[in-house]
Amino acid sequence: MNIGNRQQVASCIEDIGTDINQLSQSFYRHLLQDNPELSRIFSGNTATLNRKFFNMLAALKNVKHLEKIEASIHQLGERHGRQYAVLSEHFMPTKRALIMALEEHLGDGFTTALRQAWDEVFDEVADLMKKAVSQARHTDDDSLALTGYDGNLLQAIGGEEVVLRIHQRFYDTIFEEPWLGTFFRGKHETTLARKQTEFMVAAFGGENRYRGDTPAFVHMHMLITQEQLEAREVILRNAIGEEGLSEAIVERWIKVDRGFWAGLVKASEGECVLKCFGQYPVVAKKPGDYVFPSITPSKLTDD
């Protein structure tokens, strides 16, 4: 135990102040770039992710008298183990992403002494939580099913080139879609297809070359509804089906894709998070004569 280190961390969090959302974005970018399988734990829209990050820092900030709140930390660990299927091995990549985000945000201010303080304080809290996590029992095995990740899917699909072809077909259609196409004005199909392919290849168990932000942050300024995502899913299903892949593979792809929905759906413009001063939420108005997309027979079915 080092009270000085705990005080350093608490002061650092105080100094971060209103920049906490920026730090949060950096944290999730580092975490999910290197560990896409953790998207099932760190899911939700921007507000939800920021709240989770804030709660994590709050726990680290209030450890000056850690010994007095051990019971609360233990309960926190039990809840994470039961509800989110958190495992002991998840703490190390979380700490690594946090340290990288702090280093990126603080620059030269992230001294060796401050890094050591963060390292020690994180480990103190993590050690208590890991004991509880190891004792927690999951009440439903189905709750362990990964969303947003399928480690063997890329091979089943046939490789990255197939994923890219599907995304090219998908964007060719959605750019011309009378409702959803609004979101893509001024964008480049080729660039989006490449980025989406890099992102999904990692989610399908392939090499992770994606260096963008998580879906929740990329789309945080857009008012995206459940209905819009359902329409998008039809277009995606058709793009996959036209490649001739089996229905089982289509469903696995869709399951991964749906794993990111929680971070995209918003109920109103008020839930949009603007990236800079003067920016407005991106809202796609539904045309009065809009016709919902329909599923087309796949090549596999036709054959």
Q: Cβ of 70: how many Cβ atoms within 10 Å?
A: 11
pLDDT tens per residue across all 303 residues of the chain: 688 999 999 999 989 988 888 999 999 999 998 898 888 788 777 877 887 888 788 778 877 767 766 766 776 787 778 767 888 999 999 999 999 999 999 999 999 999 999 999 999 999 988 988 887 654 444 433 445 678 899 999 999 999 999 999 999 999 999 999 999 999 999 999 999 999 999 889 888 788 777 787 788 889 999 999 999 999 999 999 999 999 999 999 999 999 888 778 999 998 887 767 688 999 999 999 999 999 998 665 444
**Dihedral of alpha carbons 227, 235, 163, 198, sign:** negative
Per-residue confidence (pLDDT) for residue 146, from 0 to 100: 41
The CATH superfamily holding the domain 153-302 is: Globins (1.10.490.10)
Query: According to CATH, what is the number of the domain 3-144?
Result: 1.10.490.10
Q: Cβ of 192: how many Cβ atoms within 10 Å?
A: 17
Count of positions (residues) in the chain: 303
- The identity of residue 77, as a single letter, is G
Q: What is the pTM of this model?
A: 0.67
The pLDDT tens digits for 113-149 are: 999 999 999 999 999 889 888 876 544 444 334 456 7
> Which residues neighbour 34 within 8 Å (Cβ) at sequence distance 6 or greater?
93, 96, 97, 208
Per-residue confidence (pLDDT) for residue 58, from 0 to 100: 79
Residues of the chain with CATH 1.10.490.10: 3-144, 153-302
Q: What is the DSSP letter of 111?
A: -
Largest interatomic CA distance in the chain: 70
